[in-house]
Every structure is written in structure tokens, then in C-alpha cells.
Amino acid sequence: MPERELRIAIVGAGPSGIYSAEALVKAAEEREQPMAIDLIDAVPSPFGLVRYGVAPDHYSIRSVRDALDRILHDHRIRFFGNVEVGEDTKAIAAADSVAPQQISLATLRSMYDAVILSYGAATDRNLGISGEDSQGSISATQFVAWYTGHPDTPADAWVDLLAHCASVAVVGVGNVAVDVARILGKSAEELQQTDMPEHVLTALSNSAIRDIYIIGRRGPAEATWTTKELRELGELAEADISVRGVDTELGPTSQLVVDTSKVAARNVGVVKEWVTRPAGKKSKCIHLRFFARPVAIEVANGHATALIIESTQLTPKGGVVGTGEIERIAVDAVIRSVGYRGTALSDVPFDHDRGVVPHDEGRVLHGTGPVRGLYVAGWIKRGPTGIIGTNKKDAVNTVSSLLYDLDQGVLSNTEPSRDDLADVLEDGFVDHAGWRRINDAEIALGSSRGRDRTTIHDRGESLAASHVAEGTGRTSPASQ
Ligand SMILES: Cc1cc2nc3c(=O)[nH]c(=O)nc-3n(C[C@H](O)[C@H](O)[C@H](O)COP(=O)(O)OP(=O)(O)OC[C@H]3O[C@@H](n4cnc5c(N)ncnc54)[C@H](O)[C@@H]3O)c2cc1C
């Protein structure tokens, strides 16, 4: 164990990055090991998908932010927001530029004893059907980023589309698909209570949407959504729910799933109850369509006009085969919600098939051997699965490997340069005090409109809110 301070950089300040920092702080206390932990994120605010993924109307889950924020208060942890790990670029070229400053992994590794990669999985999977690139064909990743106010999503992304979109298909039967359908089905009043940016609230409140189709290749027993989230679809103020009785008739494959899974049994129970509901008269309707796989998006003048689906059957092993029966659902937009996917970072080994960084108990692997001092945690380690809390256990696993390597003397092979990241970046980042000022500005903005909080979407506005240093709109620890 080195007597000198152990220096760790963490790339990505989502749950897995913050839980990794928490596990390191705990170890520093227990071992009386001096430690400095720098958490780096490409956006000005911490919390990753808890801010830019978790549905804005799921208040208790979003409040996990408060618990994560408490961890950041530890004196050993510094936050560096608006700093992207990619290529080395010297400080921001133009004083008014708001782009994140970049730093390469090689530079980071030369400055720290160890680097933990926890940069998440921010792209989407494709359906692999024709018409997928047309206007009106949207990935759930992009749509969720827009309604939560991610700074990289244009404010006007789907404003025109929503204003003219009467019918939309959401492809996928997981919790993200449910989130998207529910947000589209909610009334202006229901959305007003959320922290969505103002332009999102206006666009959704003025949307022309009447019909929302949720499309699943398998049946209600095989859907991966959770029962609580599913039930919410049937409780919306302005949207009815519609299910075809035939979709709830279980074949032997589905019956086996229901017999062995309580969640599946509950989900099927909820859906069956909806079949018996009398037809409603609300202004919108959510249609659940099971045993249907998308085979094409019909396009006219570059714009999606219909989703073509084929009926399916399950094989005894749970596979899906098409029956050849084709149906056309007229839609103005298709939202593809078939999974998030990680992307490669320069100079980091990557498993392109699985969209994850290969590892052994959190140690990044190059071939079969570990890369000294490089670790991975969270979605980019294990793929986009589990709940927020899963990342805590996962981060503890990675940090345990790091500490084991420390004890074995593996990390002390090379002395890091000990350059301070704050000096290397000059003034091009948002620190924890700067993030607290963004937080205060969002609460003040919300309260000026009768809301608890309004997310600031624009990167420049966030930087201005974090502002301390004159003229730069950025903050640094020295300016606290
Ligand atoms: C739409 C949606 C809804 C969800 N809802 C729920 C829910 O209701 N309940 C629940 O328990 N879980 C939910 N989850 C899952 C939960 O959000 C994830 O388990 C968790 O956020 C994964 O944590 P992570 O830290 O691995 O990744 P992320 O949260 O994605 O954090 C990664 C961070 O890395 C940063 N980053 C990326 N690239 C770079 C780079 N090159 N340089 C610097 N920083 C970088 C990103 O800006 C981001 O802040 C939801 C997920 C999604 C997508």
C-alpha cells in the first residue's frame, strides 16, 4: 500500500461512477489511505441517466439524485463537468464556446494511479428494417434525451413532428417503451408537475397525438416491463388503454413462463383486466399489440407514414417466427425502443458484439490480460441491464479488484505525473460548487413558473448558471 496519496480518475458521473467514488471513499476511511478522486463528465451536471433517462414523472426514483449528490460532498471527491474524455484538445478555442473540453485517456492515465471507466451506454440498437432512416423514425434514446433536456439534443428536435403527429408506434415492450408511451399519453396538467424543460412541456402539451401503439414481438408474458410501470399506462387522465383479447390467449410456451415467473403472471393479469374494460372516451388511446414484429417502415416523401407488422408465433423454445400475416398501421412516427448500447472509447478494448468493455471482475482486458490501472463499472461493463441500485454492487466489485491490485503492488509500478487536472484544464470545467449553482438556478426557474424545478437544457445557460469566473462562464475549484 503506497503511503503517498492514491489518485483515481473516474470517467462518467452517472450512478456507477458515483457509487465507485463512494466505495473508494469507504476504503480510504477503513485503510487510512490518503486518496484523491476526480469524477469527470461530458455534461455540466452529474447523475447520468438518473437525470437524462429516468422518466421526469417518476419523482421518487429521480430523487435518487439527492442521495448521489450527498456522496459528492466528500472532500476527497472533485467533480469536473463539461469535460469529455476523447482526444486531447487544448482549452476551449473561443471564449464563448460552450463545447466540452476534451482530454485523452492516455493523458488521464499518465496523471493517475488508476482510471475507472463508467461512461454508460448512450446509443441505441437498430431494428434492421427498411425505412428506419426516414424522418419520423426516432430512437427512444434520442427521444428520452430530448424530453429530459440533455444538452446535446436540439430543443426543436421533434416540435414540428409532435404538432402534426396523430398516431405513433413505440416498438418494444420494456420499461423505456412504457416511459415513452406514458409521457406521450399524459395530459398537459400531468406533465406540468415534472421538471421537463419548458420547450418540451409546450411541445408535448400541444401535440396532436391521439393513438399510441406499443408493439411487441412476443406476448404479455414475455414482456420485460415491470408491473408497477405497466399499471400506470391504465391510469392516465386523458388516455384510454386497449388490448385485443386474442393477444392474451396464452400458448404452452407463454403458459410455462407465467407458471414460473410471478412478474410475468402479474403482468398478464394486468393486461387481461384491460381486455374486459369498457371502451373509454378519453382524447387519446394506448393500444397494446402483442405477437407482432415490425418488417418495414413505409415512407412517403422521406417521411414515415406507416409501420408494417407481421403476426408472430412463439416456438417451444421461446423463439419467434412470422406467420406471413401482414398488417399496415398508419402512423406519423415510429419510436424504436429495443435497447441502449455502449460505444467504444479511443484506445480502450471493446467487445463490438455486446457493446461493452471486456473485463475480468472490473479489470479492463486486452486479449486475455488486464490493462494495468484501467477498470470499468456500470452499463459499459455489463450492458444496459438492472436498476440503479445494481450499479452500486457492480461498482463495489470493480473497486474491490482495484484495491486488491493496489495491495499486490500492481498499481505502484509507475509513478503518475501528479499534474493537477484543474491546472491541465485551466478554467474549462464545472466543479461541484458550479453544479450546485446550476441546481439552484433550476429550482429558481421552476419556482418562477409554479413548478418545483425546471431543467435547464441549453449547455451555455447551464455554464452561465454555474458561472463564477468573469467572462468565461466556467468555474474552477480555485474560484470556490
Ligand atoms: C430511459 C431510461 C429510464 C430508466 N429508468 C430507470 C428507473 O426508473 N429506475 C431504475 O432503477 N433505473 C432506471 N434506468 C437505468 C439507470 O438509469 C441505469 O442503471 C444507470 O443510469 C446506469 O448508470 P451508469 O453510470 O453506468 O451510466 P449512465 O447513467 O449513462 O452515466 C454515464 C455518464 O458518463 C458520461 N459520459 C459518457 N461518455 C463520456 C465521455 N467520453 N467523457 C466523459 N463523460 C462521459 C455521461 O454524460 C453520463 O453522465 C433507466 C434507464 C433509461 C435509459
The CA 90 to ligand 1 mean position distance, Å, reads 28
Alpha-carbon gap, residue 327 to 68, rounded angstroms: 47
Alpha-carbon gap, residue 108 to 303, rounded angstroms: 44
* Range of the structural domain that residue 114 is part of: 6-122+342-479
Cell representation of residue 117: 471507466
Q: Which of 340, 369, 390 is the last residue of a domain?
A: 340
Asked if 180 and 144 touch (Cβ cutoff 8 Å), the reply is yes
Residue 1 lies in a domain: no
What pLDDT was estimated at residue 468?
53
Domain shared by 445 and 471, yes or no = yes
Ligand 1 atom closest to Cα of residue 12: 34
Q: Which of 310, 340, 370 is the last residue of a domain?
A: 340
Domain shared by 89 and 198, yes or no = no
Residue type, 266: R
Question: Taking residues 394-400, what's their average pLDDT?
Answer: 98
What is the percent of the chain with per-residue pLDDT over 90, rounded to a whole number? Answer: 86
Domain shared by 284 and 155, yes or no = yes
Alpha-carbon gap, residue 264 to 365, rounded angstroms: 37
Residues within a 6 A CB radius of ligand 1 = 11-17, 40-43, 48-50, 53-54, 58, 61, 84-86, 118-120, 122, 144, 176, 179, 340, 378-379, 386-388, 391
Q: Which residues are within 8 A (CB) of 109 and not within 5 positions of it... i.e. 6 or more apart? A: 115, 373, 374
What pLDDT was estimated at residue 472?
39
Domain shared by 107 and 177, yes or no = no
**Total domain count for the chain?**
2
What is the percent of the chain with per-residue pLDDT over 70, rounded to a whole number? Answer: 94
Domain shared by 304 and 362, yes or no = no
Domain shared by 352 and 289, yes or no = no
Q: What is the pLDDT of residues 407-418, one digit of tens each?
A: 999 987 667 787
Q: What is the pLDDT of residues 54-74, one digit of tens each?
A: 999 999 999 999 999 999 999
What pLDDT was estimated at residue 431?
96
In the predicted model, is pLDDT for residue 310 greater than 80? Answer: yes
Q: Kindly report the protein residue whose alpha carbon is nearest to atom 41 of ligand 1.
A: 85
Alpha-carbon gap, residue 426 to 369, rounded angstroms: 36
Domain shared by 155 and 278, yes or no = yes
Substitution site in 10, 39, 54, 153 for ligand 1 pocket (most atoms within 8 Å of beta carbon): 54
What pLDDT was estimated at residue 419?
86
Find the helix or strand (DSSP H, E) in which 464 lies. helix 459-465
In the predicted model, is pLDDT for residue 479 greater than 90? Answer: no
In the predicted model, is pLDDT for residue 318 greater than 80? Answer: yes
In the predicted model, is pLDDT for residue 334 greater than 90? Answer: yes
Domain shared by 111 and 197, yes or no = no
Domain shared by 298 and 358, yes or no = no
Q: What is the pLDDT of residues 81-98, one digit of tens each?
A: 999 999 876 544 445 568
Tell which residue, 107, 25, 116, has the closest CA to residue 73: 25
Domain shared by 346 and 336, yes or no = no
Q: Which of 340, 357, 389 is the last residue of a domain?
A: 340
Q: What is the pLDDT of residues 430-468, one digit of tens each?
A: 999 999 999 999 999 999 999 999 999 999 999 999 985
The CA 14 to ligand 1 mean position distance, Å, reads 5
Asked if 213 and 165 touch (Cβ cutoff 8 Å), the reply is no
Write the CATH number for 108: 3.40.50.720
What pLDDT was estimated at residue 10?
98
